[in-house]
Amino acid sequence: MPVADYQTYCKMLDNAYQHRFAYPAINVTSMITANAALKGFAELKSDGIIQVSTGGGKFASGQVNGDMVMGAISIAEHIHRVAAKLDINVAIHTDHCQPGNVDDFLVPLIEESERRVAEGKLPLYSSHMLDASILPIKENMDLAVPLLERMAKIGQILEVEAGVVGGEEDGAAGSEDTPDEQLYTTPEDMVYVYERLSEVQGGRYMFAATFGNVHGSYKPGAVKLRPEILKQGQDAIKAKFGDDAYFWLVFHGGSGSEKHEIHETLDYGVVKMNVDTDCQYAFTRPIADHMLKSYDEVLKVDGEVGNKKKYDPRVYLKAAEAAMADRVKEACEDLRCVGKTLAADAVGV
């Protein structure tokens, strides 16, 4: 299928909300990691989300360019071409654009989508994340509202964040010494986010509310999650705006989370969970294994010639792609989205 259009993407997210499952949002930095995500989704007949951060875009453009917009465009164009051959829906998303990068990352990508839509094509990206959680909530929403107004005109969804996700991911979000109280979004802030973004006629958005989650890799139990905060926020907006009010919620920093915690968040409206750190490790593990087991063959030791079949990058990168795809499939199983593709109902352009 083609990359999901706006109507299909909204249908995907509503289906997840109504049936209490979520889509893995897989961070990618190259064609091969994008291929790994697509392989995992396709093999389990799961729709999914593939996302690119500012750092991922910069890496993808190559060291000779170091251009995060160019790299983000390149990866997205690759996904559009490859996804068209698969019987699943895929949305393409940007991750953690902080206020300082709105003008030099988010806006140029929106402009590229506006150009494509004017030509009768799908937007390049299905959705974008504005991570203005470092700002006071009013300033955060003052920045988000005009972006959502612009994006709504071309069929894009905005993701916003209020509260701070601890740890560090591509230089974004909080830090290890983030005060505990900042790791938990208040019901009052959730009501304010709903009120402000609902001002945008026809705008659809996802909300990364924080409930103690931390970016990076950690052992189970090391982070104190409070998923009930998500329920409190959903209840608060329903109490003020009516039973039809709800958030599409996003779970950041899920590495190391216990399964029962993940499943509880699904009951409270999480429809998207970011998966980055675990995929990085899954990709790297078989490469390390290959190098350690084939040391004398991948290197020309003591004047020998080595073994081309072992140092050909395609050999170990294929193993890395397969291993990352397996981790994507594990995420699909954890989030209960296996076999739930809406591809048969998709309307592509």
CATH code (residue 292): 3.20.20.70
What is the number of domains present in the chain? 1
Distance CA 169, CA 234 (A): 27
Mean pLDDT of 185-197: 97
148-157, 210-219, 291-300: least confidently modelled range = 210-219
- The sign of the dihedral angle between the CA atoms of 70, 47, 211, 246 is positive
State yes or no: is 334 an active-site residue. no
Res 347 pLDDT > 50: no
Over the chain, what is the mean pLDDT?
A: 92
What's the confidence (pLDDT) of residue 300?
A: 95
What's the confidence (pLDDT) of residue 175?
A: 42
Kindly state whether residue 142 falls inside one of the protein's structural domains: yes
Kindly state whether residue 124 falls inside one of the protein's structural domains: yes
Structure token pair of residue 332: 């699909």
Which residue of the set 5, 95, 189, 278 is catalytic? 95
Kindly state whether residue 223 falls inside one of the protein's structural domains: yes
pTM assigned to the model: 0.93
Domain that holds residue 150: 6-345
Percent of the chain's residues with pLDDT above 70: 90
Mean pLDDT of 227-238: 97
69 confidence band (pLDDT: 50, 70, 90): very high
CA 272 and chain centroid, separation: 7
Percent of the chain's residues with pLDDT above 90: 84
CA 223 and chain centroid, separation: 21
Residue 146: exposed, middle, or buried by beta-carbon count in 10 A (0-12, 13-18, 19+)?
exposed
Res 219 pLDDT > 90: no
Residue 88: exposed, middle, or buried by beta-carbon count in 10 A (0-12, 13-18, 19+)?
buried
Hey, which residues does 214 pair with through a beta bridge?
A: 166
Kindly state whether residue 1 falls inside one of the protein's structural domains: no
Kindly state whether residue 338 falls inside one of the protein's structural domains: yes
Query: How many C-alpha atoms does 216 have within 13 Å on its Cβ side?
Result: 17
Mean pLDDT of 66-93: 98
Res 62 pLDDT > 90: yes
Phi, psi of 184 (to 5 degrees): -130, 115
Res 306 pLDDT > 70: yes
Let me know: does 245 contact 204? Beta carbons within 8 Å: no
Kindly state whether residue 280 falls inside one of the protein's structural domains: yes
Mean pLDDT of 232-252: 97
